[in-house]
């Protein structure tokens, strides 16, 4: 029995623009996954495992498991995917562009990742990648080819950067001038699923043979990860492969959440002390100085070097006013 794996994310889903509208997002998310499942079933695929990889993994309606009698299984988050099962191929649904791209909701993993890159095994070139390449190489390490990637323009572009043979289906773009009827887009998606199944799947298999380099927005995060035993070199955290990174992703995220709380508390206390110290100064003295932008930073992005610069500048301004 042919077994397909669908890994789904929400930012590249057609019609999803406002993540705060959870009800609409969940409905559109579920609908698009259903289109994929139906297309697979119509092509004779015997079993489908769907992984809701977005955040807590609870936005795809469990009703998707009603397709066929016991032929569809829904799991939450990639850490719940069991590789004891034999998946013949995988499809990435609803994926988005990486951080810094022009996508509609671009990011890489979560807000405090500045950039994830791979060290090309042949050329030695450092190449920025997003979640699409992370997951295709991770699945490749288990011998699972990704035959189709759907989502926004940036995600589908990345899907073909390292493998131009793989099928892609763009369903949204920040450059589009018309909002298309979802029925038309779903028809396109269904056709692409059918086309992807005609590919030589062995040519869609990614090789996970490159070191992964991760940079965070806050250098304090990197230094704290070094203390916790992560492989840190300079301002970067290193992983031997995409498999090592993805297999340890959720423990890493849990660690980052803890560090975020610590950084937030540190910066709140710091700003409270700075407000007291800066009372003799005028507001415009600070806003127009070279630390103005630092003081406007998100509290989670203010690092030790920035705090030292702010403190030194305020002390200098105070001495100048005496």
Question: pLDDT tens digits for 131-168?
Answer: 999 999 999 999 999 999 999 999 999 999 999 999 99
DSSP 271: H
- Measured distance CA(246)–CA(140) in Å, rounded: 12
Residue 316's contacts (CB-CB under 8 Å, 6 or more residues apart) are none
- Measured distance CA(190)–CA(150) in Å, rounded: 11
Residue 133 CA to its chain's centroid (Å) = 10
**Residues forming CATH 3.40.50.10780 domain(s) in the chain:** 3-204
Residue 176, helix vs strand vs coil: coil
Residue 96, helix vs strand vs coil: coil
Q: Please list the helix, strand and coil fractions of the chain in percent, rounded to the nearest 5, in that order.
A: 45, 20, 40
256-310 pLDDT, tens digit each: 999 999 999 999 999 899 888 888 877 777 777 778 788 777 888 899 998 998 8
Element (H, E) at 281: none
CATH of the domain spanning 3-204: 3.40.50.10780
Neighbours of 286 (CB within 10 A): 18
pTM of structure: 0.92
């Amino acid at each position: 029995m042919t077994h397909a794996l669908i890994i789904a994310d929400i930012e590249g889903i057609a019609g999803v623009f406002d993540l705060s509208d959870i009800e609409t997002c969940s409905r559109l998310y579920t609908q698009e996954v259903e289109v994929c499942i139906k297309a697979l079933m119509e092509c004779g695929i015997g079993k489908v495992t769907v992984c809701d990889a977005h955040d807590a993994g609870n936005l795809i309606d469990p009703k998707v498991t009603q397709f066929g009698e016991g032929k569809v299984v829904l799991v939450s988050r990639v850490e719940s995917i069991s590789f004891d099962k034999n998946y013949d191929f995988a499809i990435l649904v609803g994926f988005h562009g990486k951080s810094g791209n022009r996508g509609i909701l671009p990011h890489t993993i979560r807000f405090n990742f500045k950039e994830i890159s791979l060290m090309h095994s042949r050329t030695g070139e450092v190449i920025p990648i997003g979640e699409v390449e992370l997951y295709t190489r991770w699945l490749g390490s288990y011998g699972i080819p990704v035959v189709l990637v759907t989502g926004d323009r940036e995600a589908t572009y990345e899907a073909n950067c390292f493998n131009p043979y793989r099928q892609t289906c763009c369903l949204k773009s920040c450059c589009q001038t018309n909002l298309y009827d979802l029925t038309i887009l779903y028809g396109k998606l269904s056709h692409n699923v059918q086309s992807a199944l005609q590919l030589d799947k062995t040519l869609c298999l990614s090789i996970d043979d490159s070191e992964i380099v991760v940079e965070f927005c806050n250098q304090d995060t990197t230094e704290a990860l070094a203390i916790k035993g992560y492989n840190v070199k300079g301002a970067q955290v290193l992983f031997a492969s995409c498999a090592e990174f993805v297999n340890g992703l959720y423990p890493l995220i849990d660690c980052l959440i803890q560090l975020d709380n610590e950084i937030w508390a540190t910066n709140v206390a710091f700003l409270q002390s700075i407000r007291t110290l800066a009372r003799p100064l005028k507001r415009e003295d600070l806003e127009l100085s070279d630390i103005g932008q630092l003081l406007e930073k998100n509290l989670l992005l203010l690092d030790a070097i920035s705090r030292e610069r702010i403190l030194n500048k305020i002390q200098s301004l105070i001495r100048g006013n005496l």
